[in-house]
């Protein structure tokens, strides 16, 4: 499979404090890949560096054959990387419908783009609440809206930073089902989350980050056979 995103020797600092010390990772077309690691290990910093919200100090980021290192978040978004950010960050004073329409574009140039109707068919509970304001939704509905909004941009790659945080188990299960369905459409996904057992069941490959470095990488079957890694790096 073709490599979609390739990150090499990525180093990022917050002022004088270095957070990433040479991250290498790759995502192929259609893959679901996870970034795992305890709190504060550098997962969000990696994602923010990829999408242009932080400027890397060193390293290279290649997306669909083009160097995107150091470009603005807007340019990287237009290249087809969509971020579902930590905390969802939907517009509280816009309706569900307006939240979705505000993001409408066809960045991948697909002949069958996501539309409002398609997003509502994918998330029927959003269809039922299309005139509700963002701040009137439950946590799960807000998360679906945050995902739906990125789908409206028709990205090549969707990155989800702690998409299931704060959600009840049944709602979390809905989100996992939604990610599997999106992978089946051919969308590549980079998922940051802590539910390693579930992620082993749905993702292709995993990277474990520890203090700004990739300490382990491998397939779901490899990770499932090494529970000592979960203990050592994930505290599971």
- Least separation in angstroms between residue 93's CB and ligand ATP is 27
Task: Decide if residue 40 touches ligand ATP (CB under 6 A).
Answer: yes
Q: How many helices (H) and strands (E) does the chain have?
A: 10, 10
Task: Decide if residue 134 touches ligand ATP (CB under 6 A).
Answer: no
Shorter beta-carbon distance to ligand ATP: residue 78 or 213: 213
Task: Decide if residue 85 touches ligand ATP (CB under 6 A).
Answer: no
Instruction: Report 45-84 residues binding ligand ATP (CB under 6 A).
Output: 45
Supply the DSSP string of 201-223, one letter for each residue: HH-SEEEEEETTEEEEEEEHHHH
- Least separation in angstroms between residue 43's CB and ligand ATP is 4
Rounded to whole angstroms, how far apart are CA atoms 81 and 83? 7
- Least separation in angstroms between residue 97's CB and ligand ATP is 31
Sheet with 58-63, edge to edge strand ranges: 17-28, 3-14, 58-63, 66-67
Instruction: List the structure tokens of 97.
Output: 């419908």
Task: Decide if residue 34 touches ligand ATP (CB under 6 A).
Answer: no
- Is there a contact between 115 and 97 (Cβ–Cβ < 8 Å)? no
Among 22-30, 38-46, 63-71, 118-126, the segment contacting ligand ATP (CB under 6 A): 38-46
Rounded to whole angstroms, how far apart are CA atoms 116 and 14? 39
Q: Using CB under 6 A, which of 14, 111, 169, 170 touches ligand ATP?
A: 14
Task: Decide if residue 112 touches ligand ATP (CB under 6 A).
Answer: no
Question: Of 219, 185, 227, nearest to 236 (Cα)?
Answer: 227
Among 12-20, 69-77, 123-131, 166-174, the segment contacting ligand ATP (CB under 6 A): 12-20
Crossing angle (nearest 10°) for helices 169-184 and 139-151:
10
Task: Decide if residue 147 touches ligand ATP (CB under 6 A).
Answer: no
Shorter beta-carbon distance to ligand ATP: residue 43 or 149: 43
Rounded to whole angstroms, how far apart are CA atoms 214 and 212? 7
Among 40-48, 104-112, 166-174, 199-207, the segment contacting ligand ATP (CB under 6 A): 40-48
Given the rule CB under 6 A, which residues bind ligand ATP? 14, 17, 19, 37, 39-45
């Amino acid at each position: 499979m073709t490599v979609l995103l390739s990150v090499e020797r990525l180093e990022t600092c917050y002022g004088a404090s270095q957070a990433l010390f040479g991250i290498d990772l790759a995502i192929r077309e259609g893959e679901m890949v996870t970034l795992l690691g305890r709190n504060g290990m550098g997962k969000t910093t990696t994602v923010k560096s990829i999408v242009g919200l932080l400027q890397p100090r060193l390293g290279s980021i290649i997306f669909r054959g083009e160097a995107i290192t150091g470009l603005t978040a807007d340019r990287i978004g237009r290249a087809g990387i969509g971020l579902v950010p930590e905390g969802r960050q939907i517009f509280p004073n816009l309706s569900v419908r307006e939240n979705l329409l505000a993001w409408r574009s066809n960045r991948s140039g697909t002949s069958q783009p996501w539309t409002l109707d398609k997003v509502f068919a994918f998330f029927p509970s959003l269809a039922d609440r299309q005139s509700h304001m963002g701040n009137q939704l439950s946590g799960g509905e807000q998360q679906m809206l945050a995902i739906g909004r990125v789908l409206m941009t028709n990205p090549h790659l969707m990155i989800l930073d702690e998409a299931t945080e704060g959600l009840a188990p049944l709602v979390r299960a809905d989100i996992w089902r939604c990610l599997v369905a999106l992978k089946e459409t051919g969308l590549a996904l980079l998922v940051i989350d802590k539910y390693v057992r579930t992620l082993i069941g749905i993702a292709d490959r995993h990277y474990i980050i520890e203090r700004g470095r990739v300490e382990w990488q491998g397939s779901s079957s490899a990770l499932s056979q090494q529970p000592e890694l979960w203990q050592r790096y994930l505290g599971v």
